[in-house]
Amino acid sequence: MKALKELPLSIGMSLRLLSIPSKRLKARRGNEVPVVISLTSIPSRLRTLQLVIRNLLVQNTSPKKIVLWLETGLEDQVPSGLTKLTGKRFEIRFSDECSSSHSKLIHALAAYPNEVIVTCDDDFLYRSNWLSFLYSEHLENPGCIIAHKTWHINHDSHGDPLPYKQWKYPQDDETNPGAVYPLGAYGVLYPPGSLHEEVLNRERFMRLAPKADDHWFKAMSLLKGTRSIQTTLRPKEPIPVINTQEIALKKENLGEDKNTVQWQSLEDQYRLSDIILDF
């Protein structure tokens, strides 16, 4: 847990979600929007993952489908509490190429190329208006990538990117629309065709940004020329699921500054700063 004060809230939300019968969760709801929610997970989080799926199933706006992508070989490790939720609204799909966090989006892009896709993380419980706020912003800006939380990619006087820890919004509000950087943990909506076709190049993203899927997806949006924006209406902060924060990419990336290293690799490959400054 990132703060002790979140523990009671996480416990309370978890107990409420677990009290809902699976049959009720699997039933279709009337307020459905044409969105596919896509996520991935790792073995250590499978035992708590049903909380995340239940949370997505009880959003006040319902997606047409939720897809969980898992690595082939985990079929026998999926808890019964999770498999009981599968049906028309939620399905689990397995792939030989689900060993990285990029799997939360790349498989859905290939499987549902004409659908609006929303990604989320496997260690957060989102507020009930999380999806509805994303989708309402999408209706206002149908060609944009929509995020609930963003950073701003800042550059020095020579046009070179500053370290990741300095990616904050300028105090003078002189923002560059190309520099808006979606944070995947809070939820991101991708309209069809918003990312460059290079996005599915596994060899390349595993070489350039193996532990920074947000970096890779931002780079692919820049290559495509797609603008990213932050929602006008934003829900309260998502609540971490109990006992899921021990293993987290952000600890390694931030602590060892690997976010900066991986962005520089993408910069060297694609000259992203030139694209951002030309936006």
pTM for the model stands at 0.94
Q: What is the percent of the chain with per-residue pLDDT over 90, rounded to a whole number? A: 85
Average pLDDT over residues 231-239: 96
Q: Would you state the pLDDT for residue 141?
A: 98
- Give the separation between CA 51 and CA 38, rounded to whole angstroms: 15
pLDDT band at 89 (very low <50, low <70, confident <90, very high): very high
How many CA within 13 A on the CB side of residue 113?
6
Q: Would you state the pLDDT for residue 256?
A: 61
Return the DSSP state at 68. E
Q: Would you state the pLDDT for residue 246?
A: 62
Average pLDDT over residues 250-267: 79
pLDDT band at 112 (very low <50, low <70, confident <90, very high): very high
Is the distance from CB of 181 to CB of 166 less than 8 angstroms?
Answer: no
Is the distance from CB of 213 to CB of 101 less than 8 angstroms?
Answer: yes
pLDDT band at 5 (very low <50, low <70, confident <90, very high): confident
- Give the separation between CA 218 and CA 227, rounded to whole angstroms: 10
Average pLDDT over residues 106-133: 97
**Residue 94 — φ and ψ, nearest 5°?**
-110, 145
3-state SS track over 166-213: HCCCCCCCCCCHHHEEECHHHCEEECCCCCCHHHHCHHHHHHHCCCCH
The b/e string for 180-193 (b: 16+ C-beta within 10 A; e otherwise) is: bbbbbbbbbbbbee
Return the DSSP state at 232. S
Q: Would you state the pLDDT for residue 250?
A: 53
Strand locations in 47-193, DSSP E?
62-71, 90-95, 116-119, 124-125, 145-147, 150-152, 180-182, 188-190
Is the distance from CB of 145 to CB of 238 less than 8 angstroms?
Answer: no
pLDDT band at 1 (very low <50, low <70, confident <90, very high): very low
Q: 147: burial class by Cβ within 10 Å (0-12, 13-18, 19+)?
A: buried
**Helices 6-18 & 49-57 angle (0-180, nearest 10):** 70
Average pLDDT over residues 152-160: 94
